[in-house]
Amino acid sequence: MKYIDEFRQKNAAQAILKKIHEISKKKCNIMEICGTHTHAISKYGIRNALPPNICLISGPGCPVCVTSAGDVNRVIEFSKREKDVILATFGDMMRVPGTESSLQEQKAAGRDIRVVYSPLGAIDIAMAKPEKEVILFAVGFETTVPTVAATVLMAKDKGIKNFSVFALHKLTPPAMKALLDLGELNLHGFICPGHVTTIIGANAYRFIAEDYHAPCVVAGFEPLDAIHGLYMLVKQLEEGRNDIEIQYKRVVTWNGNVKAQKIIEQVFEICDSSWRGIGTIPMSGLRLKEEFADFNAEKRFGIKSETFEKPLDMILDLRLDNGDLKSEIQTGCACGEVLRGLLIPNQCPLFGKVCSPETPVGPCMVSFEGTCAAYYKYEFLQST
């Protein structure tokens, strides 16, 4: 397959890894933000093939994982209350635990909850079932946002009245800023997400290089891309540079997909958002603009909004009285720490014992891209 096979050549990957070993001297912490990178890096054994002075830490870039338990609870409550609706969602969301239940359990209890591959799938359902209300439960980062925005525009254009969106979209650069501001990790550089940046453009990370002096490389997702991106980042660190560089040039530009950005701006506006394990991050989410209120499920069905009790700087208190973390303490799940890069999955006492992809305890094991799932699938044997 074109644009895949060329970027999977094993000999080339090994040769570039060797180059990393040759140039890497400094001890450094590098974060790969995106869950798709985490998955690829684990799958191809890249983490363990790096020199021991490079610590590659997985970030909060799995949208399903960072959806707060409070938001999952709101969707579940809604599905219990409104019995005559069809809830459409992306696959991984089904098994994500709220405080007491998951969408999968609600489906088993008789609610009409369907998995769609594309947001357009929800429109198809709405057109096929005009007597039902169809609600798209939309999570996802900047890659997914324009697809949902375009779907809303399409629904408006076609005059579809029984379709609305419960939008819990999140933005990547504010989360990177939050992690840097929290200062729990001494991060020296970032591997930035290829497809998020396809939309927002690599200039979106300028502030990280300028204000935080951390270099960024936007990398693709094939093994050669990831290794080459790491080489570029390590080279910057060794040379003491803080630049933004693009490795995934066949798809990513400095300004991103401007048409997609315009479609997003037409439909959504920026708001605060609550992240599992991190807390409320200012201006890190998106909600539908007032003129699209008809398509806003929260407004249409009077769903209570999330209460943002905890500002980010009170993160340490979250352990005590935030619903999310309390439930996690009860189950012993360390997803919060995993999402902030403080723990690697095998340091969680439940990892591989009680918690596995078949019986996931936390969202990081539920999602295909979750850090715990990636470690379980590809790194478990190497680490035990």
Partner 1 sequence: MCLGVPGKIIEIKDMMANVDVAGAKKETCLMLLDDVNVGDYIIIHAGFAIQKVNEKEAQETLRIMNDLIKGMPQ
For partner 1, the binding residues (CB under 8 A) are 1-4, 6, 12, 15-16, 19, 34-36, 61-64, 90, 92, 117-121, 139-141, 143-144, 146-147, 150, 153-154, 193-196, 198-199, 221, 224, 228, 231, 235, 247-252, 257, 259-260, 263, 367, 369
Q: Report helix, strand or coil for 186.
A: coil
Least distance CB 48 / partner 1 (angstroms): 21
Least distance CB 88 / ligand SF4 (angstroms): 25
Yes or no: say if 374 and 366 are a contact pair by the CB < 8 Å rule: no
Least distance CB 115 / partner 1 (angstroms): 12
Q: What's the one-letter identity of residue 109?
A: A
User: Closer CB to ligand SF4, residue 96 or residue 149?
Assistant: 96
User: Closer CB to ligand SF4, residue 58 or residue 172?
Assistant: 58
Token pair, residue 26, equals 């400094």
Contacts with ligand SF4 by CB under 6 A lie at 333-335, 338, 345, 348, 350-351, 355, 361-362, 364-365, 372
Q: Report helix, strand or coil for 233.
A: helix
Q: How far, in Å, CA of 94 to CA of 110, rounded?
A: 14
User: Closer CB to ligand SF4, residue 113 or residue 361?
Assistant: 361
User: Closer CB to partner 1, residue 61 or residue 362?
Assistant: 61
Least distance CB 305 / partner 1 (angstroms): 24
**106 contact choice in partner 1, ligand SF4, none (CB below 5 to 8 Å, kind-dependent):** none
Q: What's the one-letter identity of residue 94?
A: M
Token pair, residue 334, equals 């360390």
φ/ψ of residue 283, rounded to 5: 50, 40
What are the C-alpha distances in Å from 274 to residues 70, 168, 237, 315, 369? Answer: 9, 9, 32, 12, 20
Yes or no: say if 138 and 169 are a contact pair by the CB < 8 Å rule: yes
Pairing of strands 279-288, 268-275: antiparallel
**338 contact choice in ligand SF4, partner 1, none (CB below 5 to 8 Å, kind-dependent):** ligand SF4
User: Closer CB to partner 1, residue 318 or residue 362?
Assistant: 362
Least distance CB 154 / ligand SF4 (angstroms): 36
Least distance CB 16 / ligand SF4 (angstroms): 31
Q: Give the count of beta carbons closer than 10 Å to the beta carbon of residue 7.
A: 19
